Structure 1
Amino acid sequence: MLKDLKISRKLFVLVLSLLFCLAVVGGTSIVLMDRINASTMKITENWLPSVIIAEEINTTISDHRIYEIDHIISSDKAMDEYEKKIEKKEKEINEKIKTYRSMVISEEDEQLITNAENSWKQYLIISARMLEASENNQTEQALNILHGESRESFDKVSNNCLNIVEYNKSGAQDASAYGKSLFSISLATIIFIITVAIIVSVLLSIYIVRLIVKPMDAINSAARKIAEGNLDDSVTYDSEDEVGLMAKTFTNMSENLKTMIQDIQYVLGAMAQGNFKVMSNCEELYNGEYHEILSAMQNIQQTLSQTLLQIDQSSNQVAIGSDQVSSGAQALSQGAMEQASSIEELSATVNEALVYIKDNAKNAQDANTLVAESGSSIKESNLSMHEMIAAMDTLTNTSGEIEKIIKTIDNIAFQTNILALNAAVEAARAGTAGKGFAVVANEVRNLAQRAAEAANVTTVHIESVMSAIQNSTTIANETAKLLDTVVEGTDIINNKINEIASASEQQANAIAQITIGIDQISSVVQTNSATAEESAATSEELNGQAHMLQNLISKFELIASIH
């Protein structure tokens, strides 16, 4: 059966079926197309050429008759030329009749060409008599033949040719209609075969896919249930293909898993009841990676057994140690109480020192503020002193300029005095006419002398002022240097006071930290005291628990040692 075939063979059957359907469609198409092609070839190779040749025969016979008419009505010289043309047309007609006979496909067609040939021969006999009469210049007799029996014979030949044309046209139309009908039948047949092939292929594909997918779904469902912890479900698919073998393997795996899980439950249940000497009932199933589970379970069994043995031994030691801890805890509690009393006294002393240090820090900060204010005032005085020195330098420079101007005025007075003397001398030389000029010169001289005297007095005063300014500048510079020294000293004092204040703050902070530390130590000592008391109580409780643990462990069946 198809069900028991391998999946590869099932797929091969499916592909082979598809190829068979494709071959049927292709073969049918080829056969039908060959028939259509034969019908078409019959039209193109027989019917249409026959129509063409028959029409050419009819046309050539018409040309032959035209040359006969030209022969009758032409002169003697032209008759030879028309006779040659008539002879040529006769050969053409005979060749075309022979060609047509080679394409005859039926008795009816043979009869039609025979009738046409016989009527053509009969026409030639009449034509020969007509041309003979024309050669003998018996034109009237030739025309009578032309319009009489020759006309009847020509019409008969022409009708026979037209019958051939109609026969072949009818055959071509029948072949064309047959081709169309055959095409319609072929198209319908191909569509039907393709439809049947598609339906068969789809049904076969669905059947084969179901043969593969349905058991796979069952296996997937069983695997999902196993993943969820349900090992009671099994796959009932019976087949010899890969899926069937996988289903059987899957069922065996499920049963083995179920057996191993039940065995693990049995071993763990016995261990839960205190029996650590229990053994597995199906060690032969723990193969491959499953053997690691068995080994791990045995290791757990050995480890728990040894652990409980060690707990039993440790509980004995705990019972002994708890008594010792209880005695030590009581001694520790007594010492902690004594330490707490000493720490309280130390804390009071440190708090008093902290008060003094905080006062020192405050006084240092106040002194720092006063020194900072004094330093600021001294810096402002120093700045004013430097500004005054700059003003004195400016005054000195201005006095020098004034001294230069006074010297210039003194020179001008000296020159004016000389000019006045020269004017007086010239006035004396002039006599009476120069008296008025001498008076003016004398006044100018007096003014020059007074200007010189005033300049000398001013120079003396300016020199005194410049001397006083220089002395003041010297004193101011020395004062400025002293102020700079005072400012630097003030900055140093300010820095030292800042350092003292900072050190006092650090000492206060350190004392505060010491106080906090002492408080913490006091708290720790108190905690230790309380802890020691609790430890004593806990040790007694631990001793009782150790005895209880020994009683519990005595209920287990333990393995003596690890092998």
Structure 2
Amino acid sequence: MLKRLLEMPIRQRLPLSIALIVVAIAASMGLFFYAQAYQSQKATTVTNVEALAKDQAARVKGWVDDKKAQLAAEASNPFIAASVRNFRLAIASDGGDLASVRQAYVLGNPLPKADRQNLQDAGDGSAYSAAHKRVHERFRKELTQLGYYDIFLFDTQGDLIYTVAKEDDFGQNALRGELGASGLGAVYREAASAAPGEIAVVDFAPYAPSANAPAAFMATPVFDGLGLRVGVLAIQLPNEELSAIVNRASALGDLGDMYIVGQDGKSRTYSRFDGRFEILQQVRDVPFIKALKAGQTGLFYGTEGLSGAQSLALTVPLDMGFAKWVLVTELDKSEYLAHLMKLRNRIILFVLAGVVVTIVVSTLGSRTITVPLRSFVRSMDEVAAGDYSKSVGVAERLDEIGLLGRNLTAFRDQLAKAEALAAEREEDRVRQDRVVKELSGAMRSLASGDLTRSLDEPFPEAYEELRQDFNATVETLNDLMGSVVENATEIHTRAEEINSASDDLSQRTENQAATLEETAAALDELTSSVRAAADGAAEVEAVVKDARNGAEESGRVVTDAIDAMSGIKRSSDEIGQIIGVIEDIAFQTNLLALNAGVEAARAGEAGRGFAVVASEVRALAQRSSDAAKEIKHLISTSSDQVDSGVSLVNRTGDALADIVERVSNIAELISDIASGSQEQSVGIGEINVGVTELDKVTQQNAAMVEEATAASTTLKQEAANLQGLVARFRLRGGVGHAAEVSVPVLQFSRSAARESTTRAAAAPRVSFETKHAVNESAWQDF
């Protein structure tokens, strides 16, 4: 390994050596400073924790002392002694039994358990309720202001004669039973025999009347103005207030915790963190909890905390007189060493930065030696490979590497001169061979008729004129043969067009002659038809005149029918009016009969006969009204049908009038047609004579077209022979061999001409660019 390290390239060995030295020095300094900072941070943290624990212990003792002072001051108030005596007298007045009081304020309390203290008067008219009403509001306000859970008043026999909360302990005796076995019973018994101003306190324990919630009690004796003991005043301490005092320390950070634990290992306060533990819950046996159970307190560094993380724990004993508590302060190691961790990270970054800077500086320093050496070695490799064109970069340096470079430059120049002479001779031979090879190939192409090849790559200066002369010759031949090919193609194309046009013209001329013959025959037939049509038109004109006279007579008959139907309609309307009058009379009769029936009903027995007559009259009037309505309906239906008949007759009259008018028009038109037919017959005869003359001229044109077709066939064959001669040349622009096609000699007949015409309409022909355009439009016009 050491040998490999010593044989490393200088550009790697030198920076690596310097970097290792710097890393070793920086790491040693970093570890030293970190150790010093760690010890300093540890001492500072311990000092702060001890001060914090001492301050919080004083706060806890001060809180207990404040509660004792408040209780003593309250007990010395004559109001308390008077209240105890008044409650005792009221109970005696009500029979001397607390059962009825307990029934009224606990068992029979109409309010929920949590709101029992809001009942000031049970409303039973007892002396106790009257006394309770006078003092209860004052005790309830005191409870709220001082933050107590409950306030208790006992008489000298141990009976609990008053509480604010009215829980299940109210009305029981502190010397016996469940209450006597509780913490409240214990504190009563101690206070019952205490001197004035003495305070009895019991530690937190589950209290059954408060649903087994943790409860601690204080009590003191109550004396009247004469110094006579009248009872005991007790309070139930609030749980949350003590926990709030302990957890209020801001120096705990986000992860630290402070709580009170008894020597039994059970907590006396809540944890700052939900779910970790509750009051009187057994705390997990971490090392410092085990120690305080054994009576050992102090500093525990780097131990496991209740959170499971590495912590610093300080346990401080609290001798409260009534109990031995331990104040536990727990700090999370990752939190109180956070600043130290930042310092450690900065030291690591500093060391890394120093290493990087050292590597960069050492690398740059070593490059002042290794780069020139690499350049010298590269120059030697180039000279050894025969590359003498590049300069030796280190030749101008003033050190030993520069001297080596200058010697290498002199050696390189001598080798270059020797190789330059040999290369020049070889280059002349290669240039000559290339010229001969390219010129020989170009001549072979020219001999084979290929005029597209030229010598594009420049020749050496001595042979460049030969290349230019060859290219000029090929260019001249290419232009000349190109013109010949284009003219031959143009002649062939035009010959084909002339041949095709002549054949088409011959066919059309023959068709025209046949058509003229058919036209002449058709005109003869048309003349006979027009004459027959003129005679028929004259006969139709007479028939139409008779029809017009009959239509006019029918119109007069329809007019008389319209007048008769109008009279029927007027009669129907008058009958309808009469029926309406009859219907009104029937309605009035019905109404009178109804009124008569009403009056007969009022008359009683005397009008019964009149009522029967009125009923019959009413029925008769109703039937008359129904008959009138039915007749009216029939008349209305008849009137509607008459209206419909009148309308139809009117429409018939209008239709006949229109027929008369149209027949008159037809008669006039037929008369005009007869006259026109006579004139057409004369005109068609003259057209027949002209068509006969046109047929003679067409026959003569057909003979001339046959002669033109024969001449164009000969011209096309000669053009095909010319194309075959020039097709062996290959020219630039795609003309030459690309145009070498077989051109058949066409047999011109009328059927072939028709097929040529059809193919020419269906498929486009190939067109060639020409320099000597013939008059194309002349053939189209022809």
Structure (1/2) with the larger strand percentage: 2
Structure (1/2) with the larger helix percentage: 1
Greater relative contact order (CA < 8 Å, ≥ 6 in sequence): 1
* TM-score after normalising by structure 2: 0.24
Greater gyration radius: 1
* TM-score after normalising by structure 1: 0.31
